[in-house]
Amino acid sequence: MAGGAGERLQPLTRMRSKGAIPYGGKFRLIDITLSNCINSELRKIFVLTQYLSESLNLHMQEGWSISSSGLGDFIYSMPAQQKMGKIWYSGTADAVRQNLNLIKPQEYDEVLILSGDHVYKMNYAQFINYHRIKRASLTVSAVKVTKSEATRRFGVLEVDSDGRLIGFAEKPYEPRTIPGDPSHVLASMGIYVFSTQFLIQVLQGDGEDFGNHILPGLIKKKENVFVYDYTAMNRISDFKFEVRDGIREKTLSDRTSDSSYWRDVGTIDSYYDASMDLVGVDPPFSLYGEKWPFRTWQRQLPPSKFILGARINNSLVSDGCIISGGAIWNSILFQNVTIEKDAVIEQSVIYENVTIEPGARIRRTIVDKDCRIRSGISIGYNREVDLARGFAISPNGIVVVTKGGDITH
């Protein structure tokens, strides 16, 4: 599912869909979900797109052309086509409903439904295996979060002692906590595995969203719906292969500290926090490790170069950058960034093809592609000045410089 408008991520989504937002120095958000699929050995993938999908489609064509349709492997981008009248997708369930023709019951026993804008590592094969063991019609993946995190942000699930779903509330003001743990709740990750025939049956009725409409109806009918506790089940310490119910299982990565990490990057602040989680000596989420690699398309660029006393600490720097002096700390630089003499970059995310001239200072800022920050400019130090420049500023004070900006004063 990669078709959301991403209104809360403006201005990053002014010219791109949420799944196409750059992440981690060289990736796009869609790469995280697609890499999880490939690492889980799932290779029959439809990506449903809608809003501002041009850059996302180009990225997938250039970086994810791994199809071998003759062998049954494919990644297909499926744009919204008004298949059911003169309406576009009106929600997650409606998007799947309008593409039911792609789902052939004789070929697929289950359908896995994923979001294209979350950051996490997950073994989907293990998730599907749990669904089969429970003989469920639908299994929902949930993550354990604090009550304050979930309030008005996530759908909150209630389960019985066997893991069966018995209650659901969409973004409640007062979330129901886990029995025996009054400070935490089970939040829906927006990840579902349906038995194919059950999905087709469910989508014959009404309902635009799985969370808002489909789940409450299934609970009322006491359907066979279970919850998969991602926080507990995804902690795997050994790297090995197993075959269970015909699924070849694979563990997550070389390290286990991030095996229960999950972020819904639906706002500027959550996206910024997920980016800052990558820097540091022992980051809560790691892009490194050969056993659970993340894949992407990337330009052919030379190595980055650091000259004239450049100082860099706790930062990610991608290919093609030239750092001519200056200081960078707790920051992420995408490809082809130029940092000139005496510039200072603090706790910031700098997209590709950005030039920061001598003496400029940037703090707690996201600079979109193709920008030039002129000599002596300071961004992220004075809220009133940044607002006067027309910059967007998040509730937590993160400044966003729009793509292609030439900041001269």
Residue 291 lies in a domain: no
Residue 1 lies in a domain: no
Q: What is the pTM (predicted TM-score) of this model?
A: 0.91
Residue 290 lies in a domain: no
Nearest-5° Cα angle at 39, 31 to 189: 65
Query: How far is residue 353's CA from residue 340's CA, in Å, rounded to a whole number?
Result: 14
Across the chain, mean pLDDT equals: 89
Spatial CB neighbours of 185, under 8 Å, sequence gap ≥ 6: 144, 145, 146, 147, 150, 154, 156, 157, 175, 176, 177, 178
For 85-128, what is each residue's pLDDT tens digit?
Answer: 667 778 889 889 999 999 988 889 999 999 988 999 999 999 99
Task: Give the pLDDT of residue 256.
Answer: 41
Is the predicted pLDDT of residue 29 greater than 50, yes or no? yes
Query: How far is residue 167's CA from residue 169's CA, in Å, rounded to a whole number?
Result: 7
**Packed helices 54-63 and 29-39: angle between N→C axes, nearest 10 degrees:** 40
Task: Give the pLDDT of residue 331.
Answer: 98
Residue 52 and residue 191 share a domain: yes
Instruction: Write out the residue range of the structural domain in which residue 312 sits.
Output: 305-407
For 352-369, what is each residue's pLDDT tens digit?
Answer: 999 999 999 999 999 999
DSSP 146-178: EHHHHTTTSEEEEE-TTSBEEEEEES-SSPPPB
Which residues sit opposite 393 in a β-bridge?
Answer: 399
Query: Is residue 39 helix, strand or coil?
Result: helix
Residue 393 lies in a domain: yes
Residue 325 and residue 270 share a domain: no
Query: Mean of the pLDDT values across residues 75-81?
Result: 85
Is the predicted pLDDT of residue 348 greater than 70, yes or no? yes
- Cα 94 to Cα 6, 12, 52, 83, 86: the distances in Å are 17, 25, 19, 11, 13
Nearest-5° Cα angle at 221, 4 to 215: 15
Task: Give the pLDDT of residue 243.
Answer: 47
Residue 300 lies in a domain: no
What CATH number should be reported for the domain holding residue 387? 2.160.10.10
Task: Give the pLDDT of residue 206.
Answer: 83
Confidence band, pLDDT 50/70/90 cuts, at residue 149: confident
Q: How many domains does the chain have?
A: 2
Residue 198 and residue 56 share a domain: yes
Task: Give the pLDDT of residue 42.
Answer: 93
Residue 266 and residue 312 share a domain: no
DSSP state of 238: S
Spatial CB neighbours of 95, under 8 Å, sequence gap ≥ 6: 1, 3, 48, 50, 80, 89
Confidence band, pLDDT 50/70/90 cuts, at residue 22: very high
- Pick from 66-75, 159-168, 228-237 the range whose average pLDDT is largest: 159-168
Which residues sit opposite 28 in a β-bridge?
Answer: 22
Task: Give the pLDDT of residue 142.
Answer: 95
Is the predicted pLDDT of residue 81 greater than 70, yes or no? yes
Residue 380 and residue 324 share a domain: yes
Is the predicted pLDDT of residue 136 greater than 80, yes or no? yes
For 224-256, what is each residue's pLDDT tens digit?
Answer: 999 999 988 866 433 344 445 555 555 554 444
Task: Give the pLDDT of residue 365.
Answer: 98
What CATH number should be reported for the domain holding residue 205? 3.90.550.10
**Domain closes at, from 255, 276, 297:** 276
